[in-house]
Amino acid sequence: MTDLSSLNWLAILVAAFAHMVIAGIWYGPIFGQAWMDENGFKAEDLADNSKGAMLRSTISYFILALGMAYLMPAMGLSGWFNGAYMGAAMAVFIHGTAGYPNYTFEMKSNKLFFIHLGNSVLGMAAMGAILGAM
């Protein structure tokens, strides 16, 4: 079993920050307009919520990186490639399959689901690569 004191806390912070950067680019210039359109948002509507949302996202990404850092040694994984593979697989098989029913019952579009899933796959693969490399 992995001991929390043996975790690389710098790697966890860097991994969480990397996912934040990826999400900022993903929901900004890459898919920002499509994400807003699918949700019926206007840019001015989001300004009031952005600081709180950023804080909650940062905490969430930190906890995600902590969990991944905890699981990797328990699974016998090391190295950037294995970490990236684990992160991408977790995003697809856990986030994707657990989250998709919510989209269907909330009558959200498949497009929105795949926008979110793409961010998770890329962000979690980056997290895993960082954790595995460091």
Distance between CA atoms of residues 108 and 118, nearest Å? 16
Residue 118's pLDDT is 98
Which residues does 40 contact at the CB level (< 8 Å), separation at least 6? none
pLDDT surpassing 70 at residue 1: no
Q: 54-100: per-residue pLDDT in tens?
A: 899 999 999 999 999 999 998 999 999 999 999 999 999 999 999 99
34/115 Cα distance (integer angstroms): 8
Amino acid at 50: S
Residue range 98-113: mean pLDDT, rounded = 96
Q: How confident is the model at residue 52 (pLDDT cuts 50, 70, 90)?
A: confident
